[in-house]
Structure 1
Amino acid sequence: MSAKKTYEILAEAFHQEQVETCFALLGDANMNWATALAGLGCDFVYVRHEHCAVAAAMAYARSRNTVGVSTVTCGPGLTQVMTALPAAVRAHIPLVVFAGESPLKNHWYNQELEQAPFVKACGADYHALHHPDRMLRQIRDAFVQAQEEMRPVVLGVPFDLQNLDWKGDSKLPAPSRDVLPKMRPMPPHPEDVADMAAVIAEKRKVIVMAGLGALRSEGATEACKALAERCGGLLATTLPVRGMFHDDPFNLSIAGGFSSDVTRECFAEADMVIAVGASLANHNSYNGTLYPNAEVLRIDTAPTTLTQGRITAHRHLRGDAGMSVRALVEALGPRDANAPSWRSPELADRIRTSPADGSVHAQEQGLLDPRDVAIALDAALPKTWEAVNSSGHCSYFFAQMPDRPVENFLTIREFGAIGNGTSFAMGVAAAKPGKPVVMFDGDGSLLMHIQELETMKRHGMKVLICVMNDGAYGSEIHKLRSEGLTDEGAVFGRPDFAAIARGFGLQGETVTDLDTLPDLARRFEASSGPAIWDFHVSDQILSPLMQRAHPK
């Protein structure tokens, strides 16, 4: 029997980490390893661009609450992921990327690159696997590091070493799941709870705002609802967890640049914001201007004073989100029936019925209002479908779907890069096979990785792409116009996405009548593959975020 190759043993080390899906684009430095891992039962999604392999792994990791795994080849294969790596770093998503390396034995190799500085400049970490005696442990340690630091780790393995017969010890080290600390949730200190409860009791207009830390904490959703009710206050979330309180009548939904008109009004009146497991980033607080009159209490397992250059909170309570909020509710005690309350049937009705953006814009003949498109899609598409929001100007409109539960709505936009929608949709489709996925995107973003339509078709992914087609880079034209400059460098005309879809073997529709959406949704649900719905929208309608940031 011939000896195993090194790449086979390395594949076994990944297999031991219970890697179920890997997103890949093959080349000399990773194809043998990937073939071996696939042979061990790992599902592979073979994409058409390296960036999409890493970006899809991001969405998969967030959807499955696991480590995302992807692979690209060395040199130019790795440089293609320069946008995806910092995006994963900013979003705190654990990834392990098998990147290969150029062969050590060659005096010259045209794809050679100093890969470590490149990767580290993106905020990820890099490990060169150059010695067989250390390789297996380095792989395990990469999975540990990715989970402890919540960021990507890239592994570089020269492909001439991969192809050597394995002569080291074939016994695999204990997997990451056996060495990671098993930590119970951290309770808050009783004295801190008492102090914070006394402060909260004096407030009259409280907003409980939850972030990813609350979503990941057992029982925190219901605890936050109970705290808001106890205070006679309201609920809100950061953008990544919009929909966490989708069934509560006093849910203001998104706090930050994407806030609705009513949400902004309420935050302006608030005298206390209780941030539960939220990072209080600039976008979330709208650069510190969203709640100018509120005292901020931050609940976190590792509270910090400064976030993105700002002092974000006046008070801190260290502890697990769910445990801390439940402790506050208990410390506050039963609510006095005569205590003043911000809640009222009238406010609940305003939250439910008021449009997210009430600004008035002139109607353009033959073009749709993007706000109407988002409202119609929200009404026509089942709430059980998985939803994915991309970035760009259109992402504001698509975010205004507060009744969709957070478990079925993915938003990753911490790096602000467009072009990720198709990748994120593929990641969600792989994470939740068999479920329809609807991806909301803009025309400029979709065109950046239009080749992945073929990937979706080949892998049988049931992805519906809804594209707001304004024939331009939406954010850029509004910024240029606000500066009094020509927008011709950002205007490109409206591609026929329905025809493009059919060219890839997908369904394609140009939607001009929003009343047809329920029937189109039923037809898509009964179909077996991906589709594009193309909405020609007016480029004269600015999102409120753009209106405030770039007034004419």
Structure 2
Amino acid sequence: MTHDHDLVLRPTAAQTAAALNPPSGRNGGDLVVETLTGLGATTVFGLPGQHALGMFDALRRSTLRYVGLRVENNAGFAADAYGRITGEAAPLLLSTGPGALMSLAALQEAAAASAPVLAIGSQIPVAGLGGGRHGYLHELRDQQASFRDVVKSVHTVRTQSQIPSAIAAAWESALTAPHGPVWVEIPQDVLLAETTLPVVTAMDATPEEVVPRPELTAVAAHLLENAERPAIIAGGGVVRSDASGKLLALAERLDVPVVTTFGGKGAFPWEHPLSLQSWLEDRHTTDFLEDADVLLVVGSGLGELSSNYHTFAPRGRVIQIEADAGKLESNHPALGIHADARLALQALLETVGERTDPAAPERVAAVLGKVRERIAAQDLGLEQRVVAAVREALPDRAPSFWDMTILAYWAWSAFDARHPNTMHSAQGAGGLGYGFPAALGAAAADPSQPVLAVSGDGGAMYSIAELATAKQYGLDVTWLIVDDGGYGILREYMTGAFGEATATELTRPDFVALAESFGVPATLTTPETLATDLAKALATPGPSVVVLPALLRMFEPTHL
């Protein structure tokens, strides 16, 4: 009897001939790039280092495109954005010790935002592994330990034959919902040694699907179709799983109002009659959600920002769909459904009946009206004009990447993303320096659209070196730098808490002159000319910088 797997596993005559006669001049690094190519990778990010040179030498013998950044952390941010835009695992090649450790903040953001990054780092030679101190350059006693609390999974290699399987297992882990970063490390001598192993061909690393349990789907459907005042919170999981169409269909079938979290921007049409938009830092929105008798939370853990700083206290029944089992019911008791958002929403669509509520759009409009009145009473016209100018200048499908800056805090609540997977920020882990290098990764992923990066002057200094990267690769990124002379958010926090700010004021360069010294055109703009200047920069191919000197303020918090 012939089994299907016999047909899959039996090599063809051509495969056998190729395997018996591998080309000469290959090393362990070739096995790395061959495996990545076999998995479907086309672009890798990174920065070379002494122990990793075997991988980087192999790149020139491969078809992979290499995008090299100037700082490992920025290379990690670029890979994060590439993964978000494409939904593919983004390879990140790093060296041992300092080079590897420099990537940790970026990998923390990728983990928080469920971005699939495949980090492959070198290690000291095999003889030095095991926890001793052998005096090797870059040596750490236990390099994996630095990554284990940050990434989804850790994969170690000690021989060349282990390379393909380790990378394939890491690839599968990165792309199994929830997506996330993974770590593979390979000793220097394994990468450098000549190999006689056959060329790695196509690898099978199909991610596992996280499917909902049908009995839980049945209960959720019953609760929703019989609810009096249901509501939906749509998080980043809806965007990551490409489930926005299913979310729209479910909301319309049940006449349920939808609010999107800051990570879920674009998951639901902003101007839809059922859209509560993203005003999560607003007590009117929080009150509305608390009053729901059935609250469906899709692809969100209801963390600090999504729960109005943990002041949100739902009074009704909560249904939580979440691919990350660790986030299920971590903040609120719920009917927890461990599943990919797309698969769970599809199951609900196939199960739930119709529900009509003609008054739902009126209740949504009433909440948004109260939000507008509250903002209008705070003399924040400048901030609203700047947000509107950015929206006017940015093409509808062009992605934007926002650093942790006051304008980004505004954008989380007030910016219409218009399409899913177009607005991204560092609000997962909250580190500085994300916006510009992430935008470079997005431009490498999809050169058909211009990309916008938004930073403050403080955050901009974290990644200013990447102007050289943007110029070297001709990446179509426009960088808006809002210059308020310091760490604006921290200035507001400290002034509010202590009456004055400390360590927040910064000496900074002439950003226009600095950008131009890299050969990158730059413009000094004003709030009045921002829309025009930004639109012109976005319409011009290649990198550009727009500098806006402005002191923006946050709207008053409403979680108190």
Normalization by structure 2: what TM-score?
A: 0.84
Q: Secondary structure at the match of 2:306?
A: helix
Aligned residues: 529
Match of 2:277 among 238, 253, 262: 253
* Separation (CA, whole Å) in 2 of partners of 1:145 and 1:332: 32
Q: Secondary structure at the match of 1:33?
A: helix
2-side partners of 1:199 and 1:121: how far apart?
37
The amino acid across from 1:542 in the alignment is M
* Superposed CA offset, 1:432-461 (max 9, x none): 113200112211111111111111111101
* Number of the residue aligned with 1:112: 139
Shift of the alpha carbon at 1:265?
Answer: 5.2
2:53 match: 31
Counterpart selection for 2:388 from 372, 375, 382: 375
In the alignment, what sits opposite 2:18? none
Quote how far apart the aligned CAs of 1:347 are. Answer: 4.6
Hey, what's the Cα distance between the residues in 2 that align with 1:347 and 1:199? 21
Where in structure 2 are the equivalents of 1:437-452 lying within 5 Å?
A: 437-452=451-466
Q: Is the 8 A contact 1:396 1:543 kept in 2?
A: no
Distance across 1 between alignment mates of 2:327 and 2:448: 44
Which residue does 2:17 correspond to in 1? Answer: none
Question: How far off its partner does 1:266 sit?
Answer: 3.3
1:479 aligns with 2:509: no
User: Following TM superposition, by how much is the alpha carbon of 1:356 offset from its aligned partner in structure 2, in angstroms?
Assistant: 9.1
| Gaps in structure 1 of 5+ consecutive residues | none
Distance 1:134 1:334, change over 3 A: closer
Match of 1:436 among 450, 460, 466: 450
**Residue 360 (structure 2) aligns with:** 342
Q: Deviations over 1:15-69 (max 9, x none)?
A: 2222211112112122332232243111111111011111211111111101111
- Asked whether 1:85 is paired with 2:107, we answer yes
The 2-side partners of 1:390 and 1:480 are apart by: 20
Q: Which has the higher mean CA deviation after the structures are superposed, 439-448 or 227-236? A: 227-236
Alpha-carbon distance in 1 for matches of 2:127, 2:435: 40
Residues 352/528 of structure 1: CA separation in 2 closer, same or farther (3 Å cut): farther
Aligned to 2:418: 404
Q: 2:236 aligned with 1:212, yes or no?
A: yes
DSSP 3-state at the match of 1:444: helix
Within 5 Å, which residues of 2 pair with 1:122-271?
122-123=150-151, 125-148=153-176, 150-167=179-196, 169-170=197-198, 172=200, 175=203, 178-180=204-206, 183=209, 186=211, 189=214, 192-217=216-241, 220-246=243-269, 247-254=271-278, 256-257=280-281, 263-264=285-286, 266-271=288-293
Distance 1:192 1:443, change over 3 A: same
Give 3-state SS (helix, strand or coil) of 1:448's partner.
coil
Q: Which residue of 2 aligns with 1:423?
A: 437
Secondary structure, aligned partner of 2:461: helix
Residue type of the alignment partner of 1:425: A
User: Does the 8 A contact of 2:450 with 2:539 survive in 1?
Assistant: no
Partner residue, 2:554: 542
C-alpha distance in 2, partners of 1:355/1:519? 26
Cα 1:356/1:532, change in 2 over 3 Å: farther
Please name the residue that 2:6 is paired with. none
8 Å CA contact 2:284–2:371 kept in 1: the answer is yes
Cα distance in structure 2, aligned partners of 1:63 and 1:407: 7
AA partner of residue 249 (structure 1): P
1:387-441 CA-partner distances (Å, limit 9, x unpaired): 1122243321123212521232223421111111112111111111132001122
The alignment status of 1:7 with 2:29, answered yes or no, reads: yes
| 1:86-139 CA-partner distances (Å, limit 9, x unpaired) | 222222333222221234568532322231222224345443422233233222
**Within 2, Cα distance between the matches of 1:356 and 1:67?**
44
1:508 matches 2:525: no
CA contact (8 A) 2:435 2:454 kept: yes
Query: Does the residue aligned with 1:39 lie in a helix, a strand or coil?
Result: coil
Query: Where in structure 2 are there 5+ consecutive unaligned residues?
Result: 1-22, 129-133
One-letter identity of the residue aligned with 1:487: A
Quick one: structure 1 residues 241 and 172, their matched pair in 2 at CA, closer, same or farther if it must change by over 3 Å?
A: same
Instruction: Give distance in 2, aligned partners of 1:446 and 1:505.
Output: 17
Return the letter of the residue paired with 2:145: P
Equivalent of residue 458 in structure 1, options 465, 472, 483: 472
What amino acid maps onto 2:206 in structure 1?
A: L
User: Structure 1 CA distance, aligned partners of 2:207 and 2:102?
Assistant: 35
Q: 1 CA distance for matches of 2:480 and 2:367?
A: 29
What displacement does 1:468 show? Answer: 2.0
**Does structure 1 conserve the Cα–Cα contact (< 8 Å) formed by 2:275 and 2:364?**
no
- Superposed CA RMSD in Å reads 3.2
The answer to whether the 8 Å contact 1:394/1:474 transfers is: no
What amino acid is aligned across from residue 97 of structure 2 in structure 1?
G
Is 1:101 the counterpart of 2:123? The answer is: yes
- Between the aligned partners of 1:127 and 1:192, the Cα distance in structure 2 is 34
Between the aligned partners of 1:221 and 1:155, the Cα distance in structure 2 is: 33
Query: In 2 relative to 1, CA 481–300 (structure 1 residues): closer, same or farther, beyond 3 Å?
Result: closer
Tell me, in whole angstroms, the C-alpha distance in 2 between the residues paired with 1:81 and 1:73.
10
State the distance in 1 between where 2:501 and 2:294 align.
42
**Compared with structure 1, are the counterparts of its residues 498 and 158 closer, same or farther at alpha carbon in structure 2 (3 Å cutoff)?**
same
**For residues 279 and 200 of structure 1, what CA distance do their matches in structure 2 show?**
20
- 1:295 matches 2:324: no
Q: 1:508, CA displacement in angstroms?
A: 1.5
- C-alpha change, 1:230 and 1:485, in structure 2 (3 Å) is same
Note if contact 1:303-1:316 (Cα within 8 Å) is conserved in structure 2.
no
Q: Percent identity?
A: 25
Q: Distance in 2 between matches of 1:179 and 1:381?
A: 37
Change (3 A) 1:233 1:162: closer
Shift of the 253–112 alpha-carbon distance from structure 1 to 2, 3 Å rule, reads: same
Letter in structure 2 aligned against 1:163: L
Amino acid at match of 1:111: H
Query: Structure 1 residues 398, 216: CA separation in 2 closer, same or farther (over 3 Å shift)?
Result: closer
> Aligned letter for 1:358?
I
Instruction: From the superposition, tell whether residues 361 and 300 of structure 1 become closer, same or farther in structure 2 (CA, over 3 Å).
Output: closer
AA in 1 matched with 2:76: V
| Alpha-carbon distance change, 78 to 480 in structure 1, aligned in 2, over 3 angstroms | same
Q: State how far apart, in whole Å, the 1-side matches of 2:105 and 2:212 are.
A: 38
User: Residue 335 of structure 1: CA displacement?
Assistant: 4.1
**Counterpart check, 1:496 vs 2:514:** no
Aligned 8 A contact 2:259 2:276 in 1: yes
